[in-house]
Every structure is written in C-alpha cells, then in structure tokens.
Amino acid sequence: MVSEIVRLRDSIGREIAAVQIALNDHTSASAGGCPRWGRAEHEELRRQLGALDQHVAQAPARSQDPPELRAEFATLLCFAKTLRIDAESWRAAYEAGLRELEREERAARKERERLTLERATLMSRRDALQSTIDETAGRIAQQNGCDCRNTLPIFRLGEALTVCSVVVLSATSWFRPRPDWLVTLNDACDHVRVTRSY
C-alpha cells in the first residue's frame, strides 16, 4: 500500500512537472508577456496548478488512513493528467498563435517595404518629369526671350507628389503678337508635351 502511494505521488509529480514546462516555457509566463490571445486560459491553468500542488502537499495531513490516502492520490493523479492535457493544448494553441502573429508581422513588414519602394519610385518619376518640364520650358524661354511661370494643370502622382505644368509667356507687341507655350504632361502622365497658343 505504501509503495502504491509513493508511486501515485511520483506520477502526480511528473504530471505537475509537465504542466509547469508547458506553462512556463513561454514569454507569456511573465507579467504582460501574453499575446492578445490565451492570457485568461494561461492564468486559469496556473491557478489550477497551484491548487493541485496545495492539495498534494496537504493530502497526507488530511488522510491518515493509507487506503483513503491512496484513493485521494489516485483522484489527484486523474486531475493532474487532465491538467497536463489542457496545458499542452494551451501551449500548442499559443505556439500556433505566435506563428500567426509572426506571419502577420512579416506580411506587414513586406507591405511597408513595398509601399516605401513604390513611393521612392514615384518620387524618382516625379523628379524626372518635373525636371524635364522645367528644362524644356527654360530652353524655350531662353530661345525666345520669354518668362516661365508654374501653372495649371497640376498632376498628382501620389500622396504629396505632384508635377506642375509651366507656361512660357511671350513678350507681345502691337504689331507682332507672339505665341505662348504650355509645357505639361500627356494624359498618361508619362511624357512631356508642349503646346502653343496664339
């Protein structure tokens, strides 16, 4: 009978150790370390583990009769096995949740990188188009003795990324009117277009 009681208590100890490993081998074991899922379950399992430890420690004092103590340890062993299964299930769900969180973080990081690259590409495109417009307008103005001014239309390539058209204003005389030039973009916003008005 005594050896059976010792065997039962050892078995309970092994189950408790397995529960502790399942619950402690995680960042969630520290305060505030739980992710957005599983914290309530973790706390409840820790509470049940503490209660089991307490019952096992107090059992010999409550049950002086060996058959009664054996029966109590047998009951506690069943509870310990159930608790281990619950703890390991929680651990599996926790690790699956961590993997999902890591997947979401990787996806969010890739999206940020994509948006950064996309914006850099748009900025480079904006700078090239605006530079071409300015250079074209400047060349026309220099050749014809005119002035340049920014004007409409303004083309939006992205958030806070715009390309401004330039008008080349000609000097006028009473006897020989001269044309104005509008240096702007085509409808696809990928090439510079020069139009003249008289």
Residues 116-170 pLDDT 10s: 999 999 999 999 999 999 999 999 999 988 899 999 999 999 888 999 999 999 8
Question: Cβ distance 189 to 157 under 8 Å?
Answer: yes
Residue with tokens 């900025």: 123
Whether the pTM exceeds 0.85: the reply is: no
Amino acid at 41: E
What per-residue confidence (pLDDT) applies to 159? Answer: 85
11-54 pLDDT tens trace: 999 999 999 999 985 554 444 445 556 788 999 999 999 999 99
Q: Are 186 and 194 in contact (CB under 8 A)?
A: no
Predicted confidence (pLDDT) at residue 66 exceeds the cutoff of 90: no
CB 192 within 8 A of CB 133: yes
3-state secondary structure (DSSP) of residue 56: helix
E strand segments, 117-173:
147-158, 161-169
What are the residue ranges spanned by the domains of the chain?
2-113, 125-197
